[in-house]
Amino acid sequence: MDATGLKRLFWISGAVLFAVGLVGWYDRLAYGHLNANYGSVVTWGLWVAAYIYFIGLSAGSFLISSLVYVFNAKRFERIGRLAVFTAVVTLFLALLAIWADIGHMWRVWHVLVYANFKSPMAWMIWLYSLYFVLLVAELWFLLRRDLVAGSGLPGPKGAIYRFLSLGSRDESEASAARDRRVVRVLATIGVPVAIMFHGGVGALFGVVAARPHWHSGMFPIIFLLSALVSGGALLTVIAAIFQDGWRANRDTVLALGQMVLGLLLLDVLFQISELLVAFYGGIPGHLQGFRLAIGGPFWWVFWWWQLVLGTLIPLLLLILPTRKDPRWVSLAGLLIAAGFLGVRLNIVIPGLAAEEIRGISQAIASARMTTYYVPSATEWLVTLGVVGLGLLLFGFGELLLPKEHEEAGHVRA
């Protein structure tokens, strides 16, 4: 399929998913959590999995953008702004998913005002709030000069550029140099913040001693690593579709593919280490989560979704000669990025789907007290809607964002 076809597919699926999502949001807003399938045993479900999925994509894309803006990696320069844009969009999607999940949506401000700094969740929230501000500021400084240049365009595009430029008029070389310095500072601050907040997402699970499946010092590290893998994988897809697509971004996509390959292998190594240590130790409580993931009712999520589609096929695509074709590389990226939703589900659900007190799921007659969980229609619809919104936002970004140019300083708006 050529780039135009991909773009059309992109827009149509975005619009359809977004529309479908509105049904889910209506149900969520009108009936609260009544039509969600999580309960008091498996108390986190698809929405939490979607949240850690998107927030991982965000942290990963941002850290890859920092290779350009902090570490001056020239080979990724073409996708630097795209990576920051991806980080903003996926962070927004993550926050939407978790917003649907909380019991009192209109009390979100409590998390900033009443923060309990003994809670990893409070740390995570403060850090990603800071991260969000940094990201938006960085993106603005990255785009400012092009926005100013585009302000003169006729029609709505020019108006949008004028609005987004926030009154800035300066197109001089000096102002561009200043922008680069500001970006460098923001990106440099952003690196430790992103590491802390995404490590914090891992720690949020890792500190829970009551859930042996999560309670591991590896968790924050694995979260960071998997963020880089999934974020990098997503960027190979976006770079192949966005604006000039795989023809223009060929070398960048190939380079990203090789980086993702290395990170994915490292991630596999970490996962194997977790499994081997758990199974050798053989402590039933510790094993329960792994046993559920690989042999429970949703064994296929692990074997087919996560392992075959999300790991083995992409590994082959990135190792075999297909690694030299940006289309195959971005297909591998797509598979990895999709596979990671399986990874996220297999972190959240098997960790919870075990009785903490034997017999408790039979003790009271309630569907909320079962260890069996499959997301409800509402949960799927909201999640698909979030994905659809993401596609639309990328679509608008593709239309509106100033294009990347071959030579720095050359404006082509």
Partner 1 sequence: MDTDTKVAPAEPLSRRQLVERLFGMGASALAVALSAGGTLSNLAAPEPARAATPAAGIATKRRFRYGMVIDTRRCVGCRACVVACKAENKTPPGVSYTVVVEQALGNRTDDKPLFMTKPCFHCERPPCVDVCPVSATFKRERDGIVVIDYDRCIGCRYCITACPYGARFFDFGENYPTVEGGTAYAGVPSPEYGQFRQRAKGASPVGNVRKCTFCVHLQDAEGRYDKVAGRWPACAKTCTGHAIFFGDFNDPDSEVSRLIRERQTVRLKEELGTEPNVHYLL
> Contact residues for partner 1 (CB under 8 A)?
31-34, 36, 39-41, 43-44, 101-104, 107-108, 110-111, 114-116, 118-122, 125, 204, 207-211, 351-352, 355-360, 362-364, 366-369
Number of C-beta neighbours around residue 32 at 10 A: 12
Q: Could you tell me the smallest distance in angstroms from the CB atom of residue 370 to partner 1?
A: 10
Residue type, 405: H
- 3-class secondary-structure state, position 154: coil
Closest to partner 1 by CB, 321 vs 359, is 359
Q: Could you tell me the smallest distance in angstroms from the CB atom of residue 119 to partner 1?
A: 5
Closest to partner 1 by CB, 198 vs 211, is 211
Among 107, 79, 88, 120, smallest CA distance to 251 is for 79
Q: Assess contact for 292 and 352: CB atoms under 8 A.
A: no
Closest to partner 1 by CB, 108 vs 374, is 108
Q: Which residues lie closer than 8 Å to 187 by C-beta, 6 or more apart?
A: 65, 66, 69, 70, 138
Q: What is the rounded CA–CA span in Å between residue 222 and residue 225?
A: 5
Number of H helices, E strands in the chain: 16, 0
Closest to partner 1 by CB, 114 vs 280, is 114
Number of C-beta neighbours around residue 115 at 10 A: 14
CA 144 to centroid of chain Cα atoms: 25
Q: At what angle do helices 218-241 and 3-31 cross, to 10 degrees?
A: 130
Closest to partner 1 by CB, 69 vs 373, is 373
Closest to partner 1 by CB, 207 vs 308, is 207
The stretches of 207-325 forming alpha helices (DSSP H) are 218-241, 245-248, 250-281, 284-295, 299-300, 313-319
Closest to partner 1 by CB, 94 vs 334, is 94
Closest to partner 1 by CB, 29 vs 277, is 29
Q: Could you tell me the smallest distance in angstroms from the CB atom of residue 101 to partner 1?
A: 7
Q: Could you tell me the smallest distance in angstroms from the CB atom of residue 362 to partner 1?
A: 7
Q: Assess contact for 24 and 381: CB atoms under 8 A.
A: yes
Closest to partner 1 by CB, 39 vs 80, is 39
Q: Could you tell me the smallest distance in angstroms from the CB atom of residue 392 to partner 1?
A: 28
Q: Could you tell me the smallest distance in angstroms from the CB atom of residue 121 to partner 1?
A: 4
Number of C-beta neighbours around residue 201 at 10 A: 26
Q: What is the rounded CA–CA span in Å between residue 141 and residue 144?
A: 5
Burial 390-413 (b: 16+ CB within 10 A, else e): bbbbbbebbeebbebeeeeeeeeb
Q: Could you tell me the smallest distance in angstroms from the CB atom of residue 189 to partner 1?
A: 24
Q: Could you tell me the smallest distance in angstroms from the CB atom of residue 38 to partner 1?
A: 8
Q: Could you tell me the smallest distance in angstroms from the CB atom of residue 31 to partner 1?
A: 8
Q: Which residues lie closer than 8 Å to 146 by C-beta, 6 or more apart?
A: 402, 411, 413
